[in-house]
Structure formats: C-alpha cells, structure tokens
C-alpha cells in the first residue's frame, strides 16, 4: 500500500510531485533546522485517489491519526484536550503554486469545550474566542460552502451592538456572542450543528481541501496557467502558531529580493497582531517589513538570517510566510518566489554576477513569454499628467482602459473587444475571470503580496494595489479620489478612461500616451545594452541564447519594412513571404483582369502587367536581406478572395438592375464570383492546385523572382531567394511545379541556384514525406493548415465557437492553433521529419506556421531536429531566447510557476 502521509521530517524539496510545493518546502526547511511548527503532509496521490473514488483511500486516515499522535507527543498537547488543546492548520499545497485558489482552515480543534481550555491555558479569553469565531467562519465557508456574507452580516451586527467599528475593538464577550451567532448561521445553512469533534473537523477539512482542487476558480486558474488538471493537491496539517496574540505577535510575507524589479534587499509586508490570511487577502493594510526591525528587532534579525540561508540553499529568490507568536518566529512557508518578468531577467543576471549560477542556468530561468511581456510599451514619465493617486506598483506595464467595477462587467466588455481596467477595493479569487479579461487591475487596499498583486503578476497583467486615496463604491459604480487638500474630489464612473502604471503605482484619469519599452528600444538598436539593469540582463541572456542555440530563427515578412525590422530583431532571413499581399490594394484591378480573362491573350496581358510589380516587391525584400535566405511562397489563397464578396456584389447588381441601369463591370464580376464560389474554400482551389489550374500564374511569379535576383546581383547585393510551393499533398504536384520552375530559371544567365521546396501543411504530405523529400530542396511546415486539416478544425471559425468549451472539458489545455498539439499534429511532424531525413539527411527543415513563435512549440521543434523556426518579427527575440533555452535544457529545471 502506498504511503499517504509524510511527516515534515521525512520529506524534502525534491518531492514536489508527491508533497506539493508547500509540503516539500516545509520539509526542506525542517531538514535545514529552521523553526517550522511540527506537521505532516497528505500526498497528492491520496488526493487523486480521493477525487477518483469520491472517498479517501483505505488506510489514509489511519496514517493521518498516527502522524497526529506524533505531533501530540512532540508538543505534549492533544487535539481535543479540554485543558491544553492542540490546534491545527490545514492548508492546500499543489505541485504548482495557485495563490488563493484552494482552501485553508485554521484553528481546527476548537469546540465549545476546548475554547475554555485555550482561554485558560493562554490566559487570554479574547484570543480564544477570536480564534473560535475564525474557525466557525472558515470551516463553514470551506467545508460546507456557507456564504461569507452571512457571517459578515453577523459581524456587523455584533460590532454595531458593541458600538465599535474595528474587529480588533471587540472584547471576549462580543466574540463569544459572535461565535454563537456564527453557529446559528452554520446550523441554518447546513441543517446540522457545528462539529464538536476535533477529529471530525480534521477529517472534513482534509476532504474539503481535496475537493477544492476542482472548485471552479481553481479550474479556471489552472487553465490560464496551463497547469495539468490531473495533478491534485497535497494537504498540509501543522500545529497552529498564532500571530494574533497581541502586539508582540504578528504575521508577514517577505522576499529575498524585490519580486517586482529584482533589486537586491529584503522586501515584504508585516501585519501586527493578525493571522496570515489577513495579509494575503489584503483586507488589512500592512506595514513595510523594515518596520519589524523597530517593533521586534530580535525576530527581524532572525528572519534576515533565515532568508539568507534560504536564498543560498535554493540559489534563487525565495519568498516566505512567517508568524511571530509572542516574540517567537515561526516559518510557515517558503518557495522559489514568483516574480515579474523584469525581476526574472534582472535576478538571473545578478546571480551569475554573484557566482551562484552560470549563464546556462540563468537562461533556463527566464522565458520567451517573459521577454514578450517586457517588449510591451510603458508610460513616458515626461508626458504623464499629475497622478490622481499613487498606489503600490504590483505588476508592471502600462495599461489604459475603461473603468469597470466587477468581474462580470470586465468579461462582458472584453468580449466586445474593449480594453478595461478592473477597479476593486480588493480582489478575491472570485474576481479571477475579470482579472483575466482586464488589461489592468487597480485596488484601493492591499500590498504587493495581496491576492490582486500575486495573481496579476503571475498572469502578466498590469496591477496597482493599495491606492488608498481611492474610494471604490462598486454599488454606485463610482470611484472617488480625494487629494487631501479639501478640494472637491474627482469622481470617475464606470466607462471612464483611466491609466495605471504598474512600474510606479501611478493612477491617471484619462488615457496617458504610452511609449515603447526599453527592452524593445534596445532590441531595435536605440538603447545601449548598459542603459539599465533590465536591458543589460536581456542583452546578456539573449546573447547567450544566440551562442548556444542550434535552431536558427527567421521571420515571416511580406514587405521590405517587415524584413528590415526582422533583421534588426535578429532574424537570420525570411522563412515565409506570403506573396498574396502583392495582389491587393491598387493592384486589385490587374487581378480582376486576370480572373475575368476570356482568352489566353487577355490572361497573358494581365500577368505581364503584374510581373514588374512583383519584381519590384521582391527586389525591395531582397535588398533588406543580403546574404540571408528569403523563402518566397507562390500564391496560396483562392483567387476569388481578391474579388468583392458575393453578397455585397449581388446587392450592387440587384440595385443597378432595379434602377434599370446596366450593372456593367459588376455584372461580369458577379458571374466570375459565382463561378468560383466554393462551399469550403480552404479545401478548394488554392495553393499548388491554383498554380496548376491557372496557366502562367506561378510562372509569372517565378520569373519575377528570377528578375529581382538578377537585378539585386547587378546592384552588388547577395540575394538568396528560395521558392516555396504551398498546399502540396502529393509529390506529383510538386514535381509539376518544380519542372516548370526549373525550365524557366534555366533561361536566366548568372542566376545563383534557387532552391525549390514545399510547405508541409496537408496531412498527406506529412505521411508521404519520404517521396516528397526526393523532389524538394527544403520543407517548411505550415502548422496552421496542418492543424486545421489534421484536426478538421476550420481555422477561421472554431476558436470563438467551441474552443472555450473544449478547454473547459480539458480536451486540450491550450488552443492547438496557439501551441502545437504534440501528440497529434506533432506526431505528423515527427513522422515527416524522420521519413524525409531518411531519404535526404541534409534536407533543410523549418516551420513557418504561428507555432514558430510560440515558446512551448519552439522547444518541440528543437527536439524534432528542425533547422529553423520562422515567426512574426516581434516574436523573433523570444524565439531566439526559447531556442537557447531548449539547447541548454537542464536536468533540474527550476520552476517558478
């Protein structure tokens, strides 16, 4: 039988799969001899068994009881003892941190009897009743789903009766009355009495934590963070320590470096005379950790020493939760801390300088997604007006949007394509959908470690917290800002524009102009690497990625301007030039002539008119890419895409006819559109099929490429074009186009060899890759179409229609159009690569679908043995970084999710 329960002295930090992050790290701290209250962890294996069977696995509670007896023996206290009761905290702890998403129950063990024991033993009636009311509320909410508002209403009544406004002003009698009122609420809502058996409380709390894994908000968070749904959570049971035992007690959260900027030094928040949940939920405002030095210097210095030990031990930024009970410091949690993208880069570079890690490991600790975030714009301080208020800068970025006051409104507005800022007094886990939908989050309460801050940082949303000058009135839909001078306050309503600066904490009325990020300016060559610590860190890590990566990174670019930017961003050429744009704009008329041509002569004339224009385009592109490969794809979409839409044209012709006018050219066009109309254009006359059906079309493009190459050579350049055939499903299609192209190219003197290759984007092409490789000089995987055709998902339709449901059902964790579906479409890719390389070991292989710029997919293409990925110019830097990370992949990946 597996072991379902581990004492903290049995585990270690390697066991995160089994013990969850919190459990494994509590065990690690225990091993390091740090002051951790005794406790044990019920494993994720037990959770999975519980969730599968709807009941705890056989023997699990026996083990729990055995370990509980161990704690009792160590502390000399017993759960349920009427004189000196042991109290327990029960907390969730999954493999990946999911802040605030799952449940916690504190003060387990208090009953109508033991509360007196606690009062007598502590000599503090008020403390005992305060703890008991917290238990009834937390247990009621967590285990039985009693709505919090019911408890809050009772609290308000008791405060009114007592004539006080702060909870802390309630005395023991008030709190006793409150416990009675809470127990009534509990009974009314659940139909049963509040459990008076501490063991039953523990049993039910453990089950509730298991079940909270599947709570709606946890499911949503996992989907957002791409955390697998099947992992389950561990449950940590530990002896309670109390931060609410008076002014010499308290609780706090601390980081070994600033998690927002990476700056060195210890950062954190402290709240005297409070329990941990009060800090994280942001309901009470904290003081900076430095204040603790004044309040309790001994504990402060002990904490500093411990944080130093932890940072050396974990070789990374750590965060901790701690509690001080009457001057004694206890560590309740540590982990390699979450951080902003900026801090991730800065800290990784610092640790290299400090000799703690090498550049490979530093590269492993940052991600392409983070680099992508850093390329977002920021406000320019010079152009920003006077702020309305300044709060805590909790997650970076510059966000401008319309004010919304609740999660539903944020989701609805985002659905309409509007950018919104979610404004709340404080957030709680129920606000998650709105936080995902919003461009930024602004709260009037709470610090850097409040729920809003932690979640926003994790999601890469801009966030300003604790802007206390704001009064948020959700019911009235308004935000009032007093400037403290006694002048009339500024009032903003839902729908008004607001700007928040996650780097400074500034809140501005109206839309403040945004400026490019320094990282973007550096990448564009406008800022020197030494401009600031962040730019310098990006420079070093990106530079290292370039040294170690095996994958080349090219860009998808159709214009000279895109090609120029791509090169500046570090692209090693153009992996895909979609020539269709050259058929649009003021050239539409020429395309219409081609489509409407009734004789060979008409068609040839139309093509002859298009050719010089195409040649100019290619020349411009080649001029930006001397010495680099430029993959030019022959025309892909169906021709009718270049004509007006059928319904629009039908209406125009009908209108003309109704007025007795001659529809003229429109009439001809309508006939052509009808003739070419397809029920499934994506599966119709496009790509190579079009090239084989419209004589002279591909030949015109090939000639234009050859002419542009010759012209570029004459101008002293070094053009390296490649010709790519789209939508090939059979080797014979490619052969036909290739033969024709080679014959044409042979007419040009002095032309360098121009490789002719193919997209692999039809599943049949992937499955017949060995034959196709005989005829192709290169393969470029079109994973957009390969996904469309492999799954049978219309690219243009399905994402908005049913992908939401599919994600909810866990059919896939992320849209297969965003990140490659490795099991299915990826399998097609692997088969094609293996078969093709068996035929032609030196075949050049790349990808030019959207996946070429997706961090997870880049890793897949590296593993699959690709030569390059090609992506939009703005994603080139992150693809470079990810290609480097794939190359240095470390055995023990640090995980800061």
Q: Which residues are the active-site residues? A: 451, 848
Candidate segments 136-144, 655-663, 733-741, 780-788, binder of ligand PEP by CB under 6 A: 780-788
- Nearest Cα neighbor of 424 from 390, 387, 475 is 475
Kindly tell me which of 63 and 761 has the beta carbon lying closer to Mg ion.
Answer: 761
Token duo for residue 628: 């680099």
Residue 849 as a binder of ligand PEP (CB under 6 A): the answer is yes
Residues that bind Mg ion (CB under 5 A): 761, 782, 785
- Nearest Cα neighbor of 51 from 225, 183, 212, 165 is 212
All residues at 6 or more sequence positions from 885 whose CB lies less than 8 Å from its CB, including other chains: 363, 364, 366, 367, 368, 545, 859
Rounded to whole angstroms, how far apart are CA atoms 675 and 141? 65
Smallest gap from residue 761 Cβ to Mg ion (A): 5
Kindly tell me which of 320 and 848 has the beta carbon lying closer to Mg ion.
Answer: 848
**Listing from the earlier edge strand, what are the strands of the sheet with 328-336?**
287-288, 264-272, 250-257, 318-325, 328-336
Residue 782 as a binder of ligand PEP (CB under 6 A): the answer is yes
- Nearest Cα neighbor of 421 from 492, 355, 329 is 492
What are the distances in angstroms from CA 767 to CA 351, 514, 838?
Answer: 47, 49, 13
Kindly tell me which of 102 and 725 has the beta carbon lying closer to Mg ion.
Answer: 725
Rounded to whole angstroms, how far apart are CA atoms 253 and 861? 41
Strands 552-556 and 514-515: unpaired
Backbone angles phi, psi at 96, to 5 degrees: -110, 140
- Tokens 């951080």, residue? 339
- Nearest Cα neighbor of 779 from 826, 830, 846 is 846
R_g of the chain, CA atoms, integer Å:
32
Smallest gap from residue 634 Cβ to ligand PEP (A): 12
Kindly tell me which of 368 and 638 has the beta carbon lying closer to ligand PEP.
Answer: 638
Question: Among Mg ion, ligand PEP, none, what binds residue 624 when CB lies within 5 to 8 Å by partner kind?
Answer: none
Residue 785 as a binder of ligand PEP (CB under 6 A): the answer is yes
Residue 578 as a binder of ligand PEP (CB under 6 A): the answer is yes
Residue 848 as a binder of ligand PEP (CB under 6 A): the answer is yes
Candidate segments 118-126, 179-187, 352-360, 776-784, binder of ligand PEP by CB under 6 A: 776-784
Smallest gap from residue 848 Cβ to ligand PEP (A): 4
Kindly tell me which of 325 and 761 has the beta carbon lying closer to Mg ion.
Answer: 761
Among 121, 480, 784, 894, binds ligand PEP (CB under 6 A): 784
Smallest gap from residue 849 Cβ to ligand PEP (A): 3
Smallest gap from residue 686 Cβ to Mg ion (A): 9
Kindly tell me which of 540 and 686 has the beta carbon lying closer to Mg ion.
Answer: 686
Among 211, 761, 821, 844, binds ligand PEP (CB under 6 A): 761
- Nearest Cα neighbor of 81 from 118, 123, 127, 106 is 118
Smallest gap from residue 646 Cβ to ligand PEP (A): 22
- Nearest Cα neighbor of 858 from 818, 812, 807, 892 is 818
- Tokens 């944020």, residue? 410
DSSP letters spanning 375-424: TS-EE-GGG----SEE-EEEE-SEEEEEEE-SHHHHHHHHHTT--EEEEE
DSSP state of 644: P
Question: Among Mg ion, ligand PEP, none, what binds residue 815 when CB lies within 5 to 8 Å by partner kind?
Answer: none
Smallest gap from residue 784 Cβ to ligand PEP (A): 3
Candidate segments 101-109, 149-157, 360-368, 777-785, binder of ligand PEP by CB under 6 A: 777-785
Q: How many residues belong to the site for ligand PEP (CB under 6 A)? A: 10
Q: Considering only residues 210-239, where is the footprint of ligand PEP by CB under 6 A?
A: none
Rounded to whole angstroms, how far apart are CA atoms 852 and 831? 18
Candidate segments 96-104, 278-286, 531-539, 781-789, binder of ligand PEP by CB under 6 A: 781-789
Among 316, 361, 636, 882, binds ligand PEP (CB under 6 A): 636
Candidate segments 112-120, 594-602, 783-791, 831-839, binder of ligand PEP by CB under 6 A: 783-791
All residues at 6 or more sequence positions from 135 whose CB lies less than 8 Å from its CB, including other chains: 105, 106, 107, 108, 110, 201
Question: Among ligand PEP, Mg ion, none, what binds residue 869 when CB lies within 5 to 8 Å by partner kind?
Answer: none
**Contact criterion met (CB below 8 Å) for 785 and 762:** yes
- Tokens 């040009």, residue? 748
Question: Among ligand PEP, Mg ion, none, what binds residue 201 when CB lies within 5 to 8 Å by partner kind?
Answer: none
What is the maximal distance between C-alpha atoms in the chain?
Answer: 106
- Nearest Cα neighbor of 322 from 507, 449, 498 is 449
Smallest gap from residue 43 Cβ to Mg ion (A): 47
Among 201, 407, 783, 872, binds ligand PEP (CB under 6 A): 783
DSSP state of 755: -
Question: Among ligand PEP, Mg ion, none, what binds residue 783 when CB lies within 5 to 8 Å by partner kind?
Answer: ligand PEP
Candidate segments 440-448, 564-572, 597-605, 782-790, binder of ligand PEP by CB under 6 A: 782-790
Helix (H, G, I), strand (E, B), or coil: what is residue 241?
A: coil
Smallest gap from residue 636 Cβ to ligand PEP (A): 6
Rounded to whole angstroms, how far apart are CA atoms 686 and 669? 19
Kindly tell me which of 319 and 761 has the beta carbon lying closer to Mg ion.
Answer: 761
Kindly tell me which of 211 and 821 has the beta carbon lying closer to ligand PEP.
Answer: 821
Kindly tell me which of 93 and 726 has the beta carbon lying closer to ligand PEP.
Answer: 726
Kindly tell me which of 521 and 578 has the beta carbon lying closer to ligand PEP.
Answer: 578
Question: Among ligand PEP, Mg ion, none, what binds residue 849 when CB lies within 5 to 8 Å by partner kind?
Answer: ligand PEP
Residue 815 as a binder of ligand PEP (CB under 6 A): the answer is no
Which residues of this protein are in contact with ligand PEP, per CB under 6 A? 576, 578, 636, 761, 782-785, 848-849
């Amino acid at each position: 039988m597996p072991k379902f329960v581990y004492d903290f002295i049995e585990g270690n930090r390697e066991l995160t799969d089994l013990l969850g992050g919190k459990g494994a790290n509590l065990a690690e701290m225990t091993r390091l001899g740090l002051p951790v209250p005794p406790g044990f962890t019920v494993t994720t294996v037990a959770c999975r068994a519980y969730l599968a069977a709807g009941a705890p696995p056989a023997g699990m509670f026996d083990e729990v009881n055995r370990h509980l007896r161990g704690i009792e023996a160590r502390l000399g206290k017993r759960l349920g003892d009427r004189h000196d009761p042991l109290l327990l905290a029960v907390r969730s702890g999954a493999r990946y941190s999911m802040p605030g998403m799952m449940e916690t129950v504190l003060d387990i063990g208090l009953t109508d009897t033991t509360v007196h024991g606690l009062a007598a033993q502590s000599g503090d009636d008020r403390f005992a009743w305060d703890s008991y009311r917290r238990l009834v509320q937390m247990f009621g909410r967590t285990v039985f789903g009693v709505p919090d508002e019911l408890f809050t209403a009772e609290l308000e009544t008791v405060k009114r009766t007592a004539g006080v406004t702060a909870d802390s002003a309630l005395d023991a009698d008030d709190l006793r009355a409150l416990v009675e009122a809470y127990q009534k609420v509990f009974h009314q809502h659940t139909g049963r009495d509040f459990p008076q058996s501490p063991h039953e409380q523990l049993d039910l709390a453990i089950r509730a934590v298991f079940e909270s894994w599947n709570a709606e908000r946890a499911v949503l968070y996992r989907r957002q963070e791409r955390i697998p749904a099947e992992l389950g959570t561990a449950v940590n049971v530990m002896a309670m320590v109390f931060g609410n035992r008076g002014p010499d007690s308290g609780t706090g959260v601390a980081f070994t470096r600033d998690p927002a900027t990476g700056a060195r030094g210890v950062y954190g928040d402290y709240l005297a005379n409070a329990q941990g949940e009060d800090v994280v939920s942001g309901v009470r405002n904290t003081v900076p950790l430095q204040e603790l030095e004044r309040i309790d210097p001994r504990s402060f210095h002990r904490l500093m020493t411990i944080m130093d030990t932890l940072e050396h031990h974990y070789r990374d930024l750590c965060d901790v939760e701690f509690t001080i009970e009457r001057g004694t410091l206890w560590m309740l949690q540590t982990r390699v801390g979450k951080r902003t993208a900026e801090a991730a880069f800065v800290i990784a570079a610092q640790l290299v300088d400090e000799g703690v890690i090498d550049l490979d490991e530093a590269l492993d600790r940052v991600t392409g997604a983070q680099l992508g975030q850093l390329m977002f714009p920021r406000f320019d301080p010079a152009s920003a007006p006077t702020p309305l208020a300044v709060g805590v800068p909790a997650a970076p970025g510059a966000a401008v949007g319309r004010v919304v006051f609740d999660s539903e409104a944020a989701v609805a507005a985002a659905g309409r394509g509007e950018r919104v800022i979610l404004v709340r007094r404080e957030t709680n886990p129920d606000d998650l959908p709105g936080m995902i939908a919003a461009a930024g989050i602004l709260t009037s309460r709470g610090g850097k470690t409040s729920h809003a801050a932690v979640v926003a940082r994790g999601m890469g949303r801009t966030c300003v917290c604790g802007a206390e000058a704001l009064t948020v009135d959700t019911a009235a839909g308004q935000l009032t800002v007093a400037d403290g001078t006694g002048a009339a306050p500024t009032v903003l309503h839902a729908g008004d524009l607001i700007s928040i600066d996650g780097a400074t904490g500034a809140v501005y009325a109206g839309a403040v102009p945004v400026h490019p990020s320094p990282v973007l300016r550096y990448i564009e060559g406008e800022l020197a690497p030494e401009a600031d610590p962040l730019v310098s860190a990006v420079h070093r890590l990106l530079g290292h990625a370039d040294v170690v990566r095996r994958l080349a990174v090219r860009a998808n670019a159709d214009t000279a301007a895109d090609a120029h930017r791509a090169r500046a961003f570090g692209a090693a050429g153009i992996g895909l030039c979609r020539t269709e744009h050259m058929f649009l704009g003021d050239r539409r008329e020429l395309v219409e002539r081609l489509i409407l041509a009734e004789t060979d002569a008409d068609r040839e004339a139309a093509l002859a008119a298009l050719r010089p224009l195409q040649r100019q385009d290619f020349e411009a592109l080649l001029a930006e890419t001397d010495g680099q490969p430029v993959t030019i794809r022959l025309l892909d979409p169906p021709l009718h895409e270049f004509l007006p839409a059928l319904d629009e044209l039908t209406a125009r012709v009908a209108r003309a006819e109704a007025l007795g006018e001659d529809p003229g050219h429109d009439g001809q066009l309508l006939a052509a559109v009808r003739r070419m109309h397809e029920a499934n254009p994506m599966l119709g006359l496009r790509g190579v099929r079009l090239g084989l059906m419209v004589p002279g079309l591909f030949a015109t493009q090939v000639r234009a490429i050859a002419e542009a190459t010759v012209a570029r050579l004459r101008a002293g350049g070094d053009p390296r074009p490649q010709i790519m055939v789209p939508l090939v499903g059979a080797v014979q299609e490619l052969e036909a186009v290739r033969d024709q192209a080679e014959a044409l190219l042979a007419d040009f003197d002095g032309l360098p060899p121009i490789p002719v290759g193919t997209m692999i984007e039809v599943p049949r092409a992937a499955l017949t890759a060995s034959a196709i490789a005989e005829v192709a000089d290169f393969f470029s995987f079109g994973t957009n179409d390969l996904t469309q055709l492999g799954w049978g998902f219309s690219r243009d339709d399905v994402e908005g229609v049913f992908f939401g449901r599919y994600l909810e059902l866990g059919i896939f964790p992320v849209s297969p159009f965003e990140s490659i579906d490795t099991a299915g479409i990826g399998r097609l890719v692997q088969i094609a690569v293996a078969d093709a390389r068996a035929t032609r070991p030196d075949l050049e292989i790349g990808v030019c679908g959207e996946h070429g710029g997706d961090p997870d997919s880049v890793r897949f293409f590296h593993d699959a043995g690709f030569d390059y990925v090609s992506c939009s110019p703005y994603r080139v830097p992150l693809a470079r970084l990810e290609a480097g990370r794939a190359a240095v992949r470390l055995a023990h990946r640090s995980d800061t999710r």
